[in-house]
Amino acid sequence: MDTLRTYLIRSLLFSMLFFSCFKINAQSNTLSYFLATAQSNSPLLNDYNNQVISNKIDSLKLKATYGFIITGEGSAGYSPNVKGWGYDSALTNGQSLFAGVRVAKEFISRNNLNTRLAGINASISQVLAQKNISLQTLKKQITDQYIATYASQQQYNLSKEIIHLLNQEDVVLKKLTQSAVFKQTDYLTFKVTLQQNELTLEQQKADWQNNYSLLKYLSGIVDDTFEPVEKPSFIETLNPTSFDESMYAKAFQADSLKLKNDAKIIQYDYKPKITAFSDSGYQSSFALTPYKNFGMSVGVGVTIPIYDGHQKKMLLQQNQLSLDTRKKYLEQTQRQYQQQILQINNQMDQYDKMINTANQQITYAKTLVEANAKQLPTGDVRMVDFILSINNLLSLKGNIIQYNTTLFNLKNQMQYLIIQ
């Protein structure tokens, strides 16, 4: 009983391990796998994440700046005066020693502090907006290369299919040629066609592996295996978000909020500043009773801007110019965004029709090749016509692969709209 139980447990564990490995291998050939891996390995996205964290630290630093600042201070000095030569002792006291603790605080209104904190939050929003655009660009780039890899894989598979067909005919034609039923020159023509397709197959295999290697390179993957990739999948109904909800609109909103907040900070920078300070410790010139020179002091400092050559006005003018510039860019990007959607939708409709037409034609092309293959051994069809029918089928299937590849690329553009 124990032996049976042990056997069942081992079998279960082996099955789980087998299917988990199969699942991992299957996932590594999908578009979603390469997208996830590229995001995980991207140093640029990591940089944006660190910038967000750094800005949050800036927020804490800002709060600390306007809190109480405590410093330990110390100084010692000696000014010799020999027979009247030297610094005036009335000014230097000859020697001095100070050691103490200083506490200072700059007073700032709550609105002023909140405005400066809002500026940091606006900077975080800017970073996140740029991160979204970079993420969108990365996804489109990886998907573009995945589509190229899949297209070259399809071309490679097509060539293998045609060569398989030709190899089947080669067996029959070789026997017929040896028995003098078929012309030697016709068989040589067929053989040349077969060898040309075999050479094309090797070239397409190299193209597929090169595209695959580039896909892994862009995704940050170190691997030299070449497993077939799955067909790229897209949402059946591609409905891009409205421009107002797009990442570009959010990026412009973040920039505008930052600029408007900067204008408020400029206003606050030209308001009076009040600083209070206090220190306590030991300070003595050792002239009278140095053991009594422990003490403290308090004070208040006020800074009032009076005149700086109208720099405040010029700073606000520059800020407004930046806002006007961003507004013009926003309007142009919105027009491009809407036009691109219209253009891509129109192109997708055209390629859908072309694919449907080509699929209808390929049925007749296959039938013609099959009919010619049956009549070729009897001499009812010339070798030239048979090869021509195969080339027509090959060309038609190649066109379908090209049309589908273009359609995939259009869907990729629609899913990840990038405005240059």
Task: Tell me which amino acid residue 358 is.
Answer: A
> Helix, strand or coil for residue 391?
helix
Domain-embedded: residue 19: no
Mean pLDDT of 373-377: 79
Stated pTM of the model: 0.82
Burial 277-293, CB ≥16 within 10 A → b, else e: eebebebbeeeeeeeeb
Per residue in 188-223, pLDDT (tens digit) is 888 898 899 899 999 999 999 999 999 999 999 998
- Cα–Cα distance for residue pair 351/357, rounded to 1 Å: 10
Per residue in 73-112, pLDDT (tens digit) is 877 777 787 777 766 666 666 677 778 888 888 888 888 8
| H or E element at residue 94 | none
How many residues make up the chain in this entry? 420
**Among candidate residues 406, 37, 32, the one with its CA nearest the CA of residue 218:** 37
Per residue in 273-320, pLDDT (tens digit) is 888 878 888 877 776 777 777 888 888 888 888 888 888 899 999 999
Q: Name the residue with tokens 């090959």.
A: 394
Q: What pLDDT score does 413 carry?
A: 92
Residue 378 has which token pair? 């009897």
Per residue in 230-286, pLDDT (tens digit) is 999 887 667 888 899 899 999 999 999 999 999 999 988 888 888 887 888 887 777
What mean pLDDT, rounded, does the chain reach?
85
Task: Tell me which amino acid residue 261 is.
Answer: N
Domain-embedded: residue 3: no
What's 171's domain CATH number? 1.20.1600.10
Domain-embedded: residue 350: yes
- Cα–Cα distance for residue pair 32/26, rounded to 1 Å: 11
> Which of the 8 DSSP states describes residue 108?
-
Residue 8 has pLDDT above 60, yes or no: no
Domain-embedded: residue 22: no
Domain-embedded: residue 131: yes
- Cα–Cα distance for residue pair 393/163, rounded to 1 Å: 13
Domain-embedded: residue 252: yes
How crowded is residue 246: how many other Cβ atoms within 10 Å of its Cβ?
Answer: 19
Tell which wins on pLDDT, 264 or 187.
Answer: 264
Confidence category of residue 51, pLDDT binned at 50, 70, 90: very high
- For residue 131, give its domain range: 29-79+94-415
Q: Where are the alpha helices (DSSP H) in 277-382?
A: 311-375
Domain-embedded: residue 264: yes
Number of domains in the chain: 1
Residue 353 has pLDDT above 50, yes or no: yes
Residue 306 has which token pair? 């009076």
Residue 237 has which token pair? 């109904």
> Helix, strand or coil for residue 167?
helix
Q: Are 98 and 30 in contact (CB under 8 A)?
A: no
